[in-house]
Amino acid sequence: MRILIADDDVTSRLVLKAIASKLGHQCLVADDGSMAWKLLSSEVIDVLLTDWMMPGLDGPELCRRVRHELNGRYIYVVLITGLNHPEQILQGMSAGADDYLIKPVDAFAVQTRLIAAERVTVLHRQVADFRSRLEQANLELLDRSLTDPLTGLGNRRRMDADLEQTHARAVRLGRSYGITLFDIDHFKRYNDHYGHPAGDQVLRQIAQCFEKTVRAGESIYRYGGEEFLLLLPDCTSTAEAAGAGARIRQAVADMAIPHRARTTAPAVVTISGGVSCWTVESPLPMPDLLKRADHALYQAKSAGRNRIHTTPSIGDPDLPPLDGMLISHA
């Protein structure tokens, strides 16, 4: 163990260091409470053997600081006093000491305290390690609960939480944001022709394409089935959101995954998308924003698929402010 001996008496320091060193422990020394605190704050210390009366910080104050200011690090503290007064011993224990020694100390008394100290510090390290592993396991479980197992994208639960947070932030700060709802074109025909395992593989391929194509700040989720949602925080206009949707649509088409069962050209897997934006001038409830995106997606599929349709927001600076107007990005 690493032991810090804090005592303003040279003889006491030497005696304690000799005893602890002979038992195989590494020792550091401090001749006052202030120096002891600096070492405790900067070094890895397992055990503190501290005198009660010292310049700077006394023993009880050192105990209190160890217990309240070292961010969960556990140090076994033995308070050394020259007075065998029960009330003083209880005062030191209340300040945070684990045990005590009465001067003059002898080797047997020090050894027994250090044996107890080693057991307790080992136990604390085991508890800290277990707590760390438990916290890591909980984080992994939380991440799994928010991740779609097939595609590895954020699932509906993560999407709902992020949408709610983004919407609340937009309302609070007067910022805008956009969403695009994507759907794989003729996906049922693909499953019927190639089989469901092939359909699952296409979902994974498209998800990988999304992850490579989305930019910093953008987030994409599996909305459900063959539908995906792109979230664009701080998107300044519907036209900007449409541009992001068109970029992702093109990336999927460029993969050229064969789809010979579709009834329209091209004979590859493509996606369609519907865009909607929330702005201060068009403060829609979030469910209505999703409905507008879904309506635009329906229009995109009705218009021939493999395209992005946009519903303009009221007051959008880049699009005519006409409710229901749909603009195609083929």
Q: List pLDDT tens digits, range 155-210.
A: 999 999 999 999 999 999 999 999 999 999 999 999 999 999 999 999 999 999 99
Query: Is residue 323 over pLDDT 50?
Result: no
Query: Is residue 281 over pLDDT 90?
Result: no
For residues 20 and 101, is the Cβ–Cβ distance under 8 A? no
Residues with active-site annotation: 226
Q: Which CATH superfamily, name and number, covers 156-329?
A: Reverse transcriptase/Diguanylate cyclase domain (3.30.70.270)
Q: For 262-287, what is the mean pLDDT?
A: 90
User: Residues with Cβ < 8 Å from 193, sequence gap 6 or more?
Assistant: 260, 261
pLDDT band at 142 (very low <50, low <70, confident <90, very high): confident
Name the most confidently modeled range: 138-147, 234-243, 279-288.
234-243
Q: List pLDDT tens digits, range 21-68.
A: 999 999 999 999 999 999 999 999 999 999 999 998 999 999 999 999
For residues 182 and 271, is the Cβ–Cβ distance under 8 A? yes
Q: List pLDDT tens digits, range 84-132.
A: 778 888 888 899 999 999 988 999 999 999 999 999 999 988 888 888 8
Quick one: pLDDT at residue 283? 79
For residues 295 and 311, is the Cβ–Cβ distance under 8 A? yes
Quick one: pLDDT at residue 312? 54
**So where are the chain's domains?**
2-139, 156-329
Which CATH architecture does the domain made up of 2-139 adopt?
A: 3-Layer(aba) Sandwich (3.40)
CA dist list (Å): 262 to 185, 305, 309? 8, 11, 21
DSSP lists the bridge partners of residue 231 as: 179, 219
Place of tokens 């309302």: 171
Quick one: pLDDT at residue 86? 82
Query: Is residue 314 over pLDDT 60?
Result: no
Q: List pLDDT tens digits, range 203-239.
A: 999 999 999 999 999 999 999 999 999 999 989 888 9
